[in-house]
Structure 1
Amino acid sequence: MLSLAAAAQEVSLRTVQQASSTVKYDPDGPPQKPGLCMEVLHAVEKADPGLHFTGLEQHVPLKRVERLLGEGQVDAFFCLLKSPERERQWRYSPVPLYVIRHVIVQRADDARHFDTLAELAAASRKKRVLVMRGTAIARHLVNADVAIAEVGSEREALQMLTMGRADLIYGQDINLQRHIVDTRQNDKFKFGRTVFQEEPQYLALRADLPPAVEERLTQALRKLEKDGTLRQLADRYR
């Protein structure tokens, strides 16, 4: 349970790391680059030294992160996109942490251009567009009648693209760029020329988190937004 020592103004908040999302959390990466969301978390602790996060030894997949938040078993989680379904289950701090862009990745020798979701929908009738399993961005494709195939990771999607089992990956620019660099096969892939949508990532909070605690978190994030820390952290991972 959330513990609040009024005299010392110490607040302990339960959280977790998201597994298989190395841009957000990279426990095997260098200490100076542990993942963008982990760095935002530590920046919040520095901005308000009375705030502490526990549970970071746990690495859980996105679907379990959502379940833990919805059931109130974690108090806060860095970072999640908003969606109507998610907003029915938990709250969000209003301060955007960083922005992701919806883009496509193609094989480098694919000369086609896709400027609209309608064009993606037409192409998906031959081969489904790959999207990461469990991500909130998939709903944009489904709503636009794009036929999708969900995969477990960006790495798996790039492998399928290489083998010709798919022609297009739709996802977050920052994640796809990281995995393309990691494969050391930059010459095999290219980004499409269109940004289909931009969306901010937020701090998600359990539905019944005390308002006073939410306010402290929000004030810490506003401080980091104002002094440029959030922007600087995001730039390090692009």
Structure 2
Amino acid sequence: MGLKAPARWQARLLFSGALLCAPLAWAQPTVLKVVAQEGTEPKFIPAGIGRVVGLCVDLYRAIERVDPGLQFVGDQQWLPLLRAHSELATHQHDALCAVQRTDERARQYVFLDPPLFQFRYQLIARADDPAVIANWDDVRKLGTQGVVLTNRGYTTPEMLERIGGLRVDSSATSPSINLHKLVAGRGRFFLHRAPGMQGFIARAGVAGKVKILPAVMASTDVYMAMGTHVDPAVRLRVQRAVEQLDRSGELAKLLKKWD
């Protein structure tokens, strides 16, 4: 025999209550599409076939731990840096990690506060170079013997143009190309960012052939950048997760890990 009417209503109420308690378990995560940006160590570092590690990969996982309803996908797929920026601007993916803010980018993306990290820029020279550099005036004094290598499509050419009075070669499209140009004598210095410079030099196969000069020539904050198409409520969730990681000291630990 079936349930009597009162019993049936009780069963329905119990089932409805179970549904109300279950949405968190059943809810699909909010997926944010990202990419691994080529030539941006230590943000993204190749680690064998089909595997990418690095500062930004760790950051995505940390945000997911803070807000399990967020999921970043695509950080194991490489894309050239310029294309990664272009595809965020055209809404083909949703976020870029550790991006320097510029006026042009601020018109294309939404930058989340607080800054994730601060990157510092230092000069790399050949191991036997006797130059002592404390500031940009020391580089200017070298004239044609002080050519600074940097990368096309990065923010460093604009930075050096603003500083002014420098001989700059920004024809290379990747940091590793510039390291090998430096070793070959096709430039006096290579301006690159820390953290992660020692590991980058070793992976490029030029350890012992170059050295990092101690002077910090510039520093800049970098941010999480998100597409203007992303739901503002989702952007706020990412921002709150970043704020929590900042307060807890987790951001500082991640930067130290990859320094």
Scaled to the shorter chain, the TM-score interval is 0.7 to 0.9
For residues 104-123 of structure 1, give each alpha carbon's deviation from its aligned partner in whole angstroms, at most 9, with x where no partner exists.
Answer: 01112222222222332443
Asked if structure 2 preserves the Cα contact closer than 8 Å seen for 1:118 and 1:144, the reply is no
Segment drifting more, 72-81 vs 62-71 = 72-81
In 2 relative to 1, CA 141–122 (structure 1 residues): closer, same or farther, beyond 3 Å? farther
Letter in 2 for 1:77: L
- In 1, distance between residues paired with 2:65 and 2:131? 47
What SS does structure 2 have at the residue aligned with 1:234?
helix
Larger Rg: 2
Instruction: Please tell me whether residue 62 in structure 1 is matched to residue 81 in structure 2.
Output: yes
2:122 alignment partner AA: V
Query: Is 1:147 aligned to residue 167 of structure 2?
Result: yes
Give the direction of change, closer, same or farther, for the CA distance of 1:29–1:42 in structure 2 (3 Å limit): farther
User: In the alignment, is the contact (CA less than 8 A) between 1:124 and 1:148 conserved in 2?
Assistant: no
1:82–1:201 CA contact under 8 A, matched in 2: yes
Post-superposition Cα deviations, 1:24-48, rounded to whole Å, max 9, x if no partner, equal 1224259998111011011101110
- What runs of 5+ residues in structure 2 fail to find an aligned partner? 1-22
Alignment of 1:195-210 (within 5 A): 195-210=216-231
Taking a change above 3 Å as real, the CA distance of residues 69 and 121 of structure 1, as seen in their structure-2 partners, is: farther
Hey, what's the Cα distance between the residues in 2 that align with 1:75 and 1:218?
A: 14
Matched residue, 2:240: 219
Which deviates further from its counterpart, 166-175 or 25-34? 25-34
Q: Does residue 91 of structure 2 align to residue 72 of structure 1?
A: yes
Number of aligned pairs? 234
* Partner SS state of residue 187, structure 1: coil
**How far, CA to CA, are the matches of 1:109 and 1:27 in structure 2?**
29
2:259 pairs with 1:232: no
Is 1:162–2:183 an aligned residue pair? Answer: yes
2:194 paired residue number: 173
Match 1:137 to one of 144, 156, 163:
156
2:33–2:95 CA contact under 8 A, matched in 1: yes
TM-score of the superposition, structure 2-length normalised? 0.81
Residue of structure 2 aligned with 1:109, choices 116, 121, 128? 128
| Counterpart pick for 1:26 among 20, 42, 45 | 45
Sort the Cα spacing of 1:124 and 1:42 in 2 relative to 1 into closer, same or farther, 3 A.
farther
TM-score normalized with structure 1 length:
0.87
- In structure 1, the residue corresponding to 2:216 is in which secondary structure? coil
| Pair 66,122 (structure 1): closer, same or farther in 2 beyond 3 Å | farther
Contact 1:82 1:136 in 2 (8 A): no
Q: Deviation string for 1:69-103 (max 9, x for gaps)?
A: 11122111112111122112111111222221111
- Secondary structure of 1:85's match? helix
Runs of 4+ in 1 over 4 A off after TM superposition: 29-33
Q: Determine the C-alpha separation between the residues in 1 that align with 2:204 and 2:234.
A: 42
Q: Deviations over 1:5-36 (max 9, x none)?
A: 99948322121111233411224259998111
